[in-house]
Structure 1
Amino acid sequence: MTLRASVNGIELAYESFGSPDGRPLLLIMGLGAQLIHWDDGFCSLLAEQGHHVVRYDNRDAGLSTHLHDKGVPTPGASSAYLLDDMADDAAGLMDVLGWPAAHVVGASMGGMIAQTLAFRHPERVLTLTSIMSTPGPSVAPPTEAAAAVLYVPPAADRETALAQALTNRLAIGSPGYELDRERFTRMAGLAYDRCYDPAGTTRQLAAIMASPDRTELLGGVNVPTLVIHGDADPLVPLAGGQATAAAVPGAELVVLPGMGHDLPQPLWPQIVGPITKLTANSAGKA
């Protein structure tokens, strides 16, 4: 069931998995992605490991508030908001959930938001997991082909949007794992039908580019931290994960061979396992 929370003058759509008595775990998705891109099966695996999982749509994505009145950013124009604001959204959602603090997992832009949450609201973060992310865009620039994915013109119809989604995934996905095209197309269709808003994605991208490098501030993060990254990621190359792990004192870096800029199903156990170890160890020390 999709619920809605009033946060920072906007509404966030969210869903939960597992027992409310489980360890609170907040999942933050990436650029232009929706809560459904944290696959039901992935969320269920986390719930089976004792987590109360909440996934949500960031502002300008999915069923959360879209800031249509802010228009479409143009090069050189100021951003409508920053990653700071998106981190504040996450903290506000935790208020609505009644969570004083949570284990926070972010992927790609979601990792950037999770990193920001960890130093902006340190009392709210029990553990930090940053997946296929970076302390700043200049730390690990994408390949030319991967960068092109960020600037694909909006699709005029559903068929074109699904074709673009497949082309983009083939450009940045995991070369070590065969893509289930039927399953992917089904998910892309669900995402399109749920919400298709390229302008919202552009506003999110502007927030990424306008936000300052986080390296120095990550040096003050003192919660158990896990960094997961693929060695074949063309959009946020491995250097981004290495820089994140180097910036956070005591962070653990897990490098997954053949993983690109997605979460292939065969790797779910190798992602869920380290996250569970991190959160369980932290709970045991609490």
Structure 2
Amino acid sequence: MTDVPHQPPQLAKANGIELCYEIFGAADAEPLVLIMGLGAQMILWDDEFCQQLAHRGFRVIRFDNRDIGHSTKFAGEKRLTMTELFKQRFLHIPIAAPYRLQDMANDVVGLLDALDIASAHIVGASMGGMIAQEIAILHPERVRTLTSIMSTTGNPRLPYPTREAAAMLMAPPPTTREAYIARFAQTWKVLRVGHFPQDEAKDRERAERSFARGLNPAGVARQLRAVLASGNRKPRLRQIKAPTLVIHGSVDPLVRPAAGKDTVASIPGAKWLLIDGMGHALPMPMWRTIIDAITKHALGTKAG
């Protein structure tokens, strides 16, 4: 599926920084913004995934969050230590961060402004789902529909990640190209939970592409701090007015299924889709289910 209009990556000034973005689909199609998760460049929304969404009638906009890919990099702050994590979890001591999820939400709104888009369908995965929730809370007029995938409310009472998934998150960053490629495959094997030959066959290509665009381990650390410093959104989620769909995998080891259930219970009128056998990833065999759900939610809401 390559016969969709395509605008190659370029930079836009947004919220006082620069964001690298890319567009698939016709200019007059329904605008849909994809927000990726912690430490993930926009290309982890696979090209073909974006093309399939564009074929469904969307103008698909993917972008690098601040501190990742080709968007603006920040400075300062060290990697999160286990001591800080312990204090945050058990002593409820706030973690210092140079920015928070609200700032990242304002980045997305700034990108919409730069593209002269009054409102869009907002789809976020993992940390991207948290950012999407913040957009719907802070800027309700900019959100046509909200889709929160494998994300959470920030409720501290929710189950923690599995030990194996948490270890991948906290592991020191690799320092060489081959080490990064090996870690990439290892990480996604843990997060996908199960055997997905199509994805495993593409892992090296995906890792090489991410490495070639440039890594920023310090930026990933700052993004993690932003997540933890932003606290519990659960009481504020009741403010969301946008039609909301919550998608979660039944075997997610990082953001446990209870977090998705907590999200759907916290947003008035939200719809729930639990995908059996899906972990903390968007495996290729499950694209059809996910894209069908997003399309029905967004365009079905419009039709209604």
Q: Same fold (TM over 0.5)?
A: yes
Q: Structure 1 residues 229, 245: CA separation in 2 closer, same or farther (over 3 Å shift)?
A: same
The answer to whether the 8 Å contact 1:132/1:241 transfers is: yes
Counterpart pick for 1:122 among 140, 146, 155: 140
Deviates further, 92-101 or 72-81: 72-81
Letter in 2 for 1:101: S
Alignment partner, residue 41 of structure 1:
48
Q: What do residues 170-228 of structure 1 show as CA deviations (whole Å, max 9, x unaligned)?
A: 11114264453331111011001112111110000000000021111111111110000
**Residue 62 of structure 1: CA displacement?**
0.5
User: Within the alignment, does 1:23 sit opposite 2:30 as a pair?
Assistant: yes
Give the CA deviation at 1:155: 1.1
Equivalent position to 1:142, from 161, 173, 186: 161
1:251 and 1:150 map into 2 onto residues whose CA distance is 29
- Taking structure 2 as the reference length, the TM-score comes to 0.90
Counterpart in the other structure of 1:170: 189
Partner of 2:128: 110
Letter in 2 for 1:39: D
Residue 283 of structure 2: which of 264, 268, 271 is its match? Answer: 264
Superposition deviation, residue 73 in structure 1: 4.5
Equivalent pairs counted in the alignment come to 284
Q: Does 1:183 align with 2:202?
A: yes
Are positions 1:59 and 2:59 aligned together? no
Per the alignment, residue 90 of structure 2 pairs with none
User: Using the alignment, how far apart are the partners of 1:243 and 1:90 within structure 2?
Assistant: 24
Q: 2:25 and 2:172 mapped to 1: Cα distance? A: 39
Aligned match of 1:72: 78
Q: Give the letter for the 1:72 counterpart.
A: K
**d(CA) in 2 for partners of 1:72 and 1:202?**
7
Which of residues 274, 285, 301 is equivalent to 1:255? 274
Corresponding residue number in structure 1 for 2:9: 2
User: Residues of 1 paired with 2:254 and 2:263: CA distance?
Assistant: 15
* TM-score between both structures, scaled by the size of structure 1: 0.96
Tell me if structure 2 keeps the 8 A contact 1:137–1:209.
no
1:100 maps to what in 2?
A: 118
Deviation at 1:137, TM superposition (A): 6.0
CA contact (8 A) 1:176 1:259 kept: no
SS of the equivalent of 2:170 reads: coil
Q: 1:49 to 1:33 in 2, by over 3 A?
A: same
RMSD over aligned CA atoms reads 1.3
Query: Which residue pairs with 1:276 in the alignment?
Result: 295
**In terms of mean alpha carbon deviation, does 77-86 or 173-182 score higher?**
173-182
Identity %: 46
Extract unaligned runs of 5+ from structure 1: none
**Structure 2 gap segments, 5+ residues each:** 1-7, 85-94
User: For 1:13, which of 2, 12, 20 is the aligned residue?
Assistant: 20
When residues 231 and 178 of structure 1 are mapped into structure 2, their CA distance, relative to the original with a 3 A threshold, is farther
Q: Distance in 1 between matches of 2:41 and 2:267?
A: 27
- Once the two structures are superposed, residues 141-181 of structure 1 have per-residue CA deviations (whole angstroms, 9 ceiling, x without a partner) of 21111101111112121000111111111111142644533
2:77 touches 2:97 (CA, 8 Å); kept in 1? no
